[in-house]
Structure 1
Amino acid sequence: MTTVSVRAEDHTCRAFQPAVEFLGRRWVGVVLLAGREGARRFGQYRQFVTGISDRLLAQRLRELEQHGLLERTVVPSTPVQVLYAPTKAGLDLLDALEPLIAWALRHPEVFGND
């Protein structure tokens, strides 16, 4: 495993900080995780991400799309279907999050989730 040197002036901090702040926004990580099985419709995201309002879910899906982590596809059908699926960057991010997810499952007591 490669160790990354982190200093306050280092470019790694400048790259890491906005990424972790974005992922730390309410529901962003969970919405991204909801797409890891492939393309889903809005209603499928809503079922996966219980407790989120439709308005906030729509906002998070748009933000993930704007950041290039989700791709929105309109399927011409009756009625029209809109699908959201992780992009290559989104899948890479999900791969990077897997160790954090595994750690959180091993240590639920850290954040009072046991």
Structure 2
Amino acid sequence: MDVTEPVFEHRAECAKVSRVLSRIGDKWSVLVIMLLRRQPQRFNELKRGIGNISQRMLTLTLRNLERDGLVSRTVTPSIPPRVDYALTQLGHSLAEPVQALGAWAFDHLDLIDAAQTRYDASADR
């Protein structure tokens, strides 16, 4: 057994980890984290960068990431007010593994597509 692997001996520990992973593992959170890893952005910049996210879903995603301590929200008083979103130190620590997961997915898209095609063809019995 690798000593660096976490060991979950109790259901409560599994439930806590599951709760965190469900938040940071959803597609919108991952995309927001990836867009903010280079620099802070405003709401509409994030919306344009993601593309097919609704305003409501982006708002909810940003609020949840802020609540979890991964994103900070800075309001600059002006007319209209300027609101910038940035990764916190905790958010930056998550960006590296998220980037690695994204790179893995990109590198294996063709293999996954081929596996799905094979599976779907065999399921059509």
1:8-27 matches, within 5 Å, as: 8-9=9-10, 13-27=14-28
Gaps of 5+ in 1: none
Q: Quick check: 74-83 or 40-49, which moved more?
A: 74-83
Q: Quick check: 1-10 or 102-111, which moved more?
A: 1-10
Q: Identify, as 1 or 2, the structure richer in helix.
A: 2
Question: Residue 6 of structure 1 contacts residue 12 of structure 1 at CA under 8 Å; is this kept in 2?
Answer: no
Equivalent pairs: percent with the same residue? 32
Secondary structure, counterpart of 2:79 in structure 1: coil
TM-score where L is the length of structure 1: 0.82
> Aligned residue pairs: how many?
113
Tell me how far 1:73 sits from its aligned partner: 0.2
Aligned to 1:62: 63
Using the alignment, how far apart are the partners of 2:3 and 2:95 within structure 1? 19
Question: Residue 42 of structure 2 contacts residue 85 of structure 2 at CA under 8 Å; is this kept in 1?
Answer: yes
Which of these two proteins has the greater Rg computed from alpha carbons?
2
Gaps of 5+ in 2: 115-125
1:24-35 matches, within 5 Å, as: 24-35=25-36
Cα RMSD of the aligned pairs, angstroms, is 2.5
Question: Residue 34 of structure 2 contacts residue 98 of structure 2 at CA under 8 Å; is this kept in 1?
Answer: no
Tell me how far 1:23 sits from its aligned partner: 2.0
